[in-house]
Structure 1
Amino acid sequence: MNLSARLDALRQRQQTATLAGINRGVERETLRITNSGQLAQTMHPQSLGATLTHPLITTDYAESLLEFITPVSRSVRETLTQLRDLHRFTYRHIGDELLWPLSMPCYVNEPKDIRIADFGSSHVGMMKSTYRQGLTHRYGAVMQTIAGVHYNFSVSDQLWDELAAQDGAQNCSDYRSERYFDLIRNFLKHAWVVPYFFGASPVVCSSFTRYSPGDVDLQSFGGGMSYRPYATALRMSDLGYTNKEQAALRISYDSAQQYIDGLRRAVSTPSERFAKIGVQDDQGEFRQLNSNILQIENEFYAPIRPKRTAHSGETPTQALERGGVEYIEIRALDTNPYTPVGITAEQMLFLDLLLMHCLLSDSPKMSWDDQQQAGKNLTKVVLDGRDPRLRLQQGEHQVLLKEQLKDLFKTLEPLAEVMDNANGGDAYRCVLGHLGPQIDNPERTLSGQLIADMRKAQQHGQGFAMQLAQHYREQLLQESLEYYSEDELKALATKSLTEQSTIESQQSGTFAAYLQAYFAAAEEKKERAC
């Protein structure tokens, strides 16, 4: 059933209101930096809590790479308020440090200056740190300091009931997983749309490119910066998150089980390249968790992931196998530098529209050639998306990017109207109205604006990103908390420290034995599943 037929069925059954119950969450990464624009060398402040156990404030790869996580909410405004409060609270506890407002890192002196995140002395904490040590040896520390924003999305139980009724199916975990994988395949074909509008990393610090293995042709931007004239999101190019060995895995999105099997195959397939690193050094210290293509499933790089909240000790694929897909994680978003929290309501609403379109539209299976073609289109837009002459592959033909976008917007307009009616108001139509002119004028996109503003600041001998960072610090420090209270966030921090201490005091055995048991349990589950 195509999108138009789905919408007609919702109208006829008077079920359009089911489109309103979207569940959202945001994960925003950002580097702590000094007033001179370099990576902070300080450890994660204890007053923010324990990164191992805090549900809202943690670190990603490095001690200086903060990650803010919002709870699930059905309100865009609530999510942004929660996110802003976490930034406000953090600024009160990091002294005179700043939060870097771009995805690509600030000045990096030497890779040794990047401290891998410390999650404590428990086995689970050491596993997290060892995994990051493995990423360092495999891809380099500098690449891991790139920040992004992840958008988590799921639809209501009421909509699932309605879609299952339309399909004559039972609303169960298998049905939802099947339909979420329909969404994923459609998103992969349209993933390039996200960096076109929201890519915000067309410029990189030359200190970063010294240590990047990526082969991207860049030009001098001046001021120690490099760029591509039409780039949108160099974060997603070969300069950023890449693992060429993963391409050989040919992980399929045609079903949940094929996806699960592919990831498990990657975690158990040895890599000659990574075997040369060694799992342990001469003193028995771990250099990586294992020498397989993926150390663990989280190492798989993709612009979108199917997710389910895992139980303690459970791998992501075990969680999917147990309960099916719970939500979708979009990983193609650069940090938006024009807001102190890295993402705006407009971006969230547009992603809602795009993802709902992907869910409700027909979704044929994807061959490996189809996947490769979708990846090539994404790469073209990442590197040259603002080139008005750029053509993308559409079936057997090359079609101008702007013509494909205009066609997409035509299909989104009736969906936006229905979703506005379901929610009350005109927010979705307003988003299309604002983004639409950027199709014919790429310089109005985020990447176009950023290049223009960086050029202007450069002419005045200033750094645009540092200006933003200092402005956001002053702004957020002056604001009061709105969703959380200071006492609530302090209590969360204290609780997380206690929980980490309890985990560390209750563990037994060696770390090596813990790892062996962890991977044995994952393998045992795989055998039972087969």
Structure 2
Amino acid sequence: MFSEIGQLIFDNEAVAKTSDFTMGLEIEMQRVDETGELSQEPYPAGAGDEQINPWITNDFLETMSEVVTPPAAHALDAMHYLYGINNALRTALSPGELLWPLSMPPRLPKDKSRIPLAKMGPKKEAYLKEWLKRHGFSEGTPCGAHINLSIDPHVFNLVYDRMHDQFDSELDLQNYLYAKIAQGFLRYRWVITYLFGASPIAEANYFDKGQGPKAPIRSIRQSSHGFGNKFTGDYTNIQQYVNRIEQGVSDGKLISDYEFHGAVRFKGNTNLKELPKTGVQYLELRMLDLDPSSSVGIRTNTLRFFRLMASYFIMSPALKPDQVNAVVERADKMNEEVSEEHPNDISKYQASARAFLQRLEMYADKIQLGPEYQEEIEDLQDRVENPLSTPSAKMITHIKNNSLTDYALRRAKHYQASALQSIRPFKGFETNRKISANDLKHELFQGSWEPDKDKDQQ
């Protein structure tokens, strides 16, 4: 089950460190009015300045609010931050405004020119205008949940101390392990689409007439019908990842390196060219639809599952370098097939999904993870056997007149009412000052909750 690195970690009783990831979350949601139209209200003043507030910002549209959490030591800590900042955003909304809980946008106006792009400064606005010319309005509107994942430095220290003859430096090992995890998530992205896909239909005016799926599917957003540029990355190693993106920019296939929106992105140095030298600091995992059953778009158990997967990928044998692109290309095709399956149908890849979850269950048993992980695996195994229990299958039971608007508004109004009943809503963003992660923690919770430990913002 274990690779040489995995066996070393296991023998040194350091397995816990491989699941002790620092995690951050980025959750996008559209602001809408009570009828389910994109909001005409300006960016909420109570959410601060969208150009400088790192915790509540905009993405693509003025109505697309993005909540960003500081890095947290545990899944539950990340969720505490997320709930706190999400509540702050909700309490800053204008009367009658709501946060749309679905990945696919609400019905779009036929005249899309009246919907303003995000006001994020001249450089970003110029980029958004060029993106709009290339891809069209609709493709920029789906929202999702992004998980940022950072490996505990103790893992690098332990492995390099005993295997330094196999790596040029500890930074070389660091880049290798991040690439290994990325390859794992890309290889099994189709499993995530099956288990968590939650965008079965699009609302009016998203697709041009005659375009788009003819019936509900598992995930429009995770399919070729979804977000943005379809440029494929090279995940063989960090240098080839950078080379591939730079070539895409040089060939005019990408506006800039920022436009690369692969399912996984390596993050670290803002100068992409320098990333192999300065080292990957964390992964951005971009393969989750919003979960409409949660007011914040994601559940704690989902974070635990991602953490388990990442730990398993660290400990397992790596793909050979000359296999990576072929394996990822095959996985992309599998993801497309799974994303376009009807939500009620047993997946074509049910047996493969079953085998993968069984392997994760064996791994969780071997490293003696807690019962919360076992319970999550059991729930997900049930989704594999019973497609009616998947998010998209549950959602299509609420379709009326080819729309999920009634369902989404019921959810949105319930979540908004709960937020407005907060005993002490956070008002700290109104001052338009930059708030550090430590200040945010103190002002959000003021002693009512304390993370197990703090980690600096990456």
**TM (normalized to structure 2)?**
0.87
Q: Structure 1 stretches of 5 or more lacking a match?
A: 120-124, 220-227, 270-291, 392-400, 497-530
Q: Which residue of 1 aligns with 2:264?
A: 304
Q: Does the aligned pair in 2 maintain the 1:417–1:428 contact within 8 Å?
A: no
Q: SS at 1:416's partner residue?
A: helix
Q: Distance in 2 between matches of 1:488 and 1:353?
A: 35
Q: SS at 2:62's partner residue?
A: coil
Q: Does the aligned pair in 1 maintain the 2:145–2:288 contact within 8 Å?
A: yes
Structure 2: which amino acid aligns with 1:149? Answer: A
Aligned match of 2:250 in 268, 276, 295? 268
Structure 1 residue 370 displacement after superposition: 3.2
Q: Does 1:204 align with 2:202?
A: yes
Q: Distance in 2 between matches of 1:389 and 1:333?
A: 20
Structure 1 residue 30 displacement after superposition: 0.4
Q: Which residue of 1 aligns with 2:406?
A: 463
Distance 1:429 1:145, change over 3 A: same
Q: Which residue of 2 aligns with 1:114?
A: 115
Structure 1 residue 458 displacement after superposition: 6.9
Q: Does 1:258 align with 2:240?
A: yes
Q: Structure 2 stretches of 5 or more lacking a match?
A: 436-458
Give 1:27-176 correspondences, 5 Å limit.
27-95=26-94, 96-109=96-109, 110-119=111-120, 125-165=121-161, 167-168=163-164, 169=166, 172-176=170-174
Q: Does the aligned pair in 1 maintain the 2:26–2:68 contact within 8 Å?
A: yes
Structure 2: which amino acid aligns with 1:451? Answer: I
Q: How many residues align?
A: 429
Q: Does 1:325 align with 2:280?
A: yes
Q: Distance in 2 between matches of 1:98 and 1:183?
A: 36
Structure 2: which amino acid aligns with 1:61? Answer: F
Q: Does the aligned pair in 2 maintain the 1:307–1:328 contact within 8 Å?
A: yes
Q: Which residue of 1 aligns with 2:433?
A: 494
Structure 1 residue 33 displacement after superposition: 0.4
Structure 1 residue 487 displacement after superposition: 5.0
Q: Distance in 2 between matches of 1:354 and 1:190?
A: 10
Q: Does the aligned pair in 2 maintain the 1:153–1:327 contact within 8 Å?
A: yes
Which has the larger Rg? 1
Structure 1 residue 192 displacement after superposition: 0.5
Percent of counterpart pairs with the same letter? 25
Structure 1 residue 417 displacement after superposition: 3.1
Q: Does the aligned pair in 1 maintain the 2:17–2:154 contact within 8 Å?
A: yes
Q: SS at 1:209's partner residue?
A: coil
Give 1:109-508 correspondences, 5 Å limit.
109=109, 110-119=111-120, 125-165=121-161, 167-168=163-164, 169=166, 172-210=170-208, 216-219=212-215, 228=216, 231-244=217-230, 246-247=231-232, 251-269=233-251, 292-308=252-268, 310=269, 314-315=270-271, 317-364=272-319, 365=321, 366=323, 368-384=325-341, 386=343, 388=345, 390-391=347-348, 401-417=349-365, 420-421=368-369, 425-452=370-397, 454-455=398-399, 463-480=406-423, 486-491=426-431, 493-495=432-434
Q: SS at 1:102's partner residue?
A: coil
Q: Distance in 2 between matches of 1:181 and 1:16?
A: 19
Q: Distance in 1 between matches of 2:171 and 2:134?
A: 36
Q: Distance in 2 between matches of 1:328 and 1:368?
A: 19
Q: Does the aligned pair in 2 maintain the 1:58–1:66 contact within 8 Å?
A: yes
Q: Which residue of 1 aligns with 2:443?
A: none
Q: Distance in 1 between matches of 2:206 and 2:103?
A: 12
Structure 1: which amino acid aligns with 2:426? Answer: E
Deviation digits for residues 66-103 of structure 1 (CA, Å, limit 9, x no counterpart): 00000000122221121111121112221120000000
Worse-superposed segment, 148-157 or 7-16: 7-16
Worse-superposed segment, 344-353 or 10-19: 10-19
Structure 1 residue 427 displacement after superposition: 1.6
Q: Distance in 1 between matches of 2:209 and 2:67?
A: 27
Deviation digits for residues 83-132 of structure 1 (CA, Å, limit 9, x no counterpart): 1111211122211200000000001112113210112xxxxx20111111
Structure 1 residue 11 displacement after superposition: 3.8
Structure 1: which amino acid aligns with 2:354? Answer: K
Structure 1: which amino acid aligns with 2:373? Answer: Y
Structure 2: which amino acid aligns with 1:450? Answer: M
Structure 2: which amino acid aligns with 1:464? Answer: Y
Distance 1:464 1:163, change over 3 A: same
Q: SS at 2:43's partner residue?
A: coil
Q: Distance in 1 between matches of 2:234 and 2:44?
A: 41
Q: SS at 1:106's partner residue?
A: coil
